[in-house]
């Protein structure tokens, strides 16, 4: 009730406006669910019997004269009109902070139905709240509050399911998943997103059975919609239960087959770590490091943690005795990540960043091995190369590498932490002396051409690489020393 009273100044006024115009208005779906869970944010979802043109006109009336108010019709083709109004007690100078506004979406009663060969939903409008709620994905999202009367509407027992942590569909799960197969992935996301210390959510047995039987149907959904739902799952506080559900029902085999592929069989003759469970633990440890290191939920970092070992199944070999090797799984895995994320239509930048992290995730072990042998570890030049190769992904590489330690041997884990602490310390020390994140040769291309008396061409590139190697090996040289070394190198060239 406290959550609902918090939004009353907006919700009641909007309800009165629609009622005066002869329409019904309900707070609905996730907004009601989150209010009941004490999680309601600033996004408010409403549904109505008014058609989009009428909704747009009423919302324009609602925000008229309101400082910072706005209306948009981007979702009009799907029956949705959006608006925003300042939150309660706004300051005179309203900022662009999302928390300063209520973001409102009003959708006409509707149904989304897929044809067998369709990748996009067909939208049709309904005429009753009962018809709208029965078409929603799960009972916990099929509750509504009529406004301005504040009448609670729960025809499918969503309140009880919310209290008990059960994901059920208002109708049969087969019909629900046939209407929109993406709801099967949404079940996995809600399994993770809605769970708390008090209540652990899980789909009802009949929902799991339908997901398993109908997993093939996810293939009609566009890659973009699958990507968005998968991303939302990975960005939850605890994605493991949802990802496990995708694997167990066979959905992961359709949308991210490399994930169940990590479940390498373990036989009595060749025992080795369960790569799937290891990857899940790395993901969880990566999430745990985000806050302490000053970051929010990071999709690229989490994708890299989840997929860092996907090259292992392709590179697994049995050596003498019980030893198992995965040589070059970092390089193979990076290529596999590119291919899969491209298929899921992730952005080119996300693909490049994730693949780079997968390719580099083993680099640190050469350093830690040196530390374990009581040697100094890497030279300064090796540290520079580590930083240069990581580029703008260095902080994410720090997180991934630390998260990748899942050994139960506490002594070994402590030594790995100390080794990485030492590496980060050395990076910081070198960074104070040099511009590590933008290492370049001491001479640029124009200076090289002038000094050697050559025109633009391959020779300049070779000379530039030589000077870069010198810079990495010895640190800042200065233009005079760099010129001297360049002349010596040039004298040896044919």
Distance (Å, rounded) from C-alpha 114 to C-alpha 7? 35
Give the per-residue pLDDT at 453.
84
Distance (Å, rounded) from C-alpha 472 to C-alpha 457? 23
The DSSP symbol for 475 reads S
Side-chain-side CA neighbours of 267 within 13 Å: the count stands at 6
Q: Whole-angstrom distance between the N-terminal and C-terminal Cα of the chain?
A: 83
Distance (Å, rounded) from C-alpha 154 to C-alpha 27? 12
Which ranges of 344-379 does DSSP label H, i.e. alpha helix?
Answer: 348-360, 364-372
* Tens digits of pLDDT across the chain (494 residues): 677 777 888 899 999 999 999 999 999 999 999 999 988 888 999 999 999 999 999 999 999 988 888 999 998 988 999 999 987 644 334 445 556 789 999 999 986 555 655 556 566 788 899 999 998 999 999 999 999 999 999 999 999 999 999 999 999 999 999 989 999 999 999 999 999 888 999 999 999 999 999 999 999 999 999 999 999 999 999 999 999 999 999 999 999 999 999 987 554 444 455 899 999 999 999 999 999 888 999 999 999 999 999 999 888 887 776 777 788 899 999 999 999 999 999 999 999 999 999 999 998 876 655 544 445 567 777 888 888 888 889 899 999 999 998 888 888 888 888 888 888 888 887 776 665 555 677 788 788 788 888 888 788 788 877 887 777 777 777 888 888 888 888 888 87
Question: Are 336 and 383 a contacting pair, CB within 8 Å?
Answer: no
pTM for this entry:
0.82
The token duo for 430 is 């070198």
Of the candidates 393, 230, 228, the residue with the CA atom closest to the CA atom of residue 301: 393
Q: How far is CA 482 from the centre of its chain?
A: 44
For the chain, list the domains and their CATH numbers.
Answer: 1-159 (3.30.460.10), 165-255 (1.10.110.30), 283-438 (no CATH), 445-491 (no CATH)
Number of other CB atoms surrounding residue 354 within 10 Å: 28
Which ranges of 144-274 does DSSP label H, i.e. alpha helix?
Answer: 158-164, 173-179, 182-193, 205-213, 223-234, 240-249, 252-255
Q: What distance separates the 2 farthest-apart alpha carbons in the chain?
A: 90
Q: What is the pLDDT of residues 346-364, one digit of tens each?
A: 999 999 999 999 999 998 8
Give the per-residue pLDDT at 92.
39
Strands 144-147 and 324-325: unpaired
């Amino acid at each position: 009730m406290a959550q609902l009273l918090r939004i009353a100044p907006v919700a009641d006024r909007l309800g009165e406006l629609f009622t005066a115009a002869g329409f019904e208005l309900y707070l609905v779906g996730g907004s009601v669910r989150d209010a009941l869970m004490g999680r309601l944010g600033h996004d408010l979802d409403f549904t109505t019997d008014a058609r989009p043109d009428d909704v747009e006109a009423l919302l324009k009336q609602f925000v008229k004269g309101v400082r910072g108010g706005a209306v948009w019709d981007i979702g009009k083709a799907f029956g949705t009109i959006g608006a925003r109004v300042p939150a309660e007690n706004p300051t005179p100078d309203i900022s662009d902070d999302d928390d300063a506004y209520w973001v409102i979406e009003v959708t006409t009663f509707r149904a989304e139905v897929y044809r067998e060969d369709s990748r996009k939903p067909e939208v049709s409008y309904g005429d009753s709240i009962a018809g709208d709620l029965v078409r929603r994905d799960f009972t916990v999202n099929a509750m509504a509050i009529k406004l301005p009367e504040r009448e609670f509407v729960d025809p499918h027992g969503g309140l009880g399911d919310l209290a008990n942590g059960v994901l059920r569909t208002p109708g049969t799960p087969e019909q629900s998943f046939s209407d929109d197969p993406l709801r099967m992935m949404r079940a996995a996301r809600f399994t993770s997103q809605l769970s708390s210390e008090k209540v652990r959510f899980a789909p009802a047995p009949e929902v799991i059975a339908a997901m398993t039987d109908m997993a093939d149907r996810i293939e009609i959904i566009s890659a973009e919609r699958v990507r968005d739902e998968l991303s939302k799952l990975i960005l939850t506080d605890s994605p493991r239960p949802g990802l496990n559900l995708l694997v167990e029902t066979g959905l992961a085999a359709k949308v991210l087959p490399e994930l169940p592929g990590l479940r390498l069989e373990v036989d009595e003759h060749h025992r080795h770590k369960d790569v799937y469970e290891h990857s899940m633990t790395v993901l969880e440890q990566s999430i745990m490091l985000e806050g302490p290191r000053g970051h929010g939920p990071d999709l690229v970092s989490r994708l890299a943690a989840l997929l860092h070992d996907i090259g292992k199944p392709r590179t697994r070999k049995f050596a003498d005795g019980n030893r198992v090797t995965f040589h070059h799984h970092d390089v193979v895995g990076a290529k596999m990540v590119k291919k899969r994320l491209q298929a899921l239509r992730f952005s080119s930048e996300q693909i490049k960043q994730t693949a780079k992290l997968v390719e580099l995730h083993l680099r640190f072990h050469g350093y830690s091995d040196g530390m374990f042998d009581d040697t100094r570890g890497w030279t300064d030049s090796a540290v520079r190369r580590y930083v240069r190769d990581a580029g703008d992904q260095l902080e994410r590489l720090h997180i991934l590498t630390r998260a990748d330690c899942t050994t139960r041997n506490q002594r070994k884990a402590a030594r790995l932490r100390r080794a990485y602490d030492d590496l980060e310390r050395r990076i910081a020390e070198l960074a104070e002396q040099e511009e590590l994140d933008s290492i370049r040769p001491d001479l640029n291309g124009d200076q090289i051409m002038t000094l050697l008396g050559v025109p633009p061409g391959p020779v300049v590139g070779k000379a530039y690489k030589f000077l870069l190697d010198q810079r990495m090996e010895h640190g800042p040289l200065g233009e005079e020393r760099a010129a001297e070394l360049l002349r010596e190198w040039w004298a040896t060239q044919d």
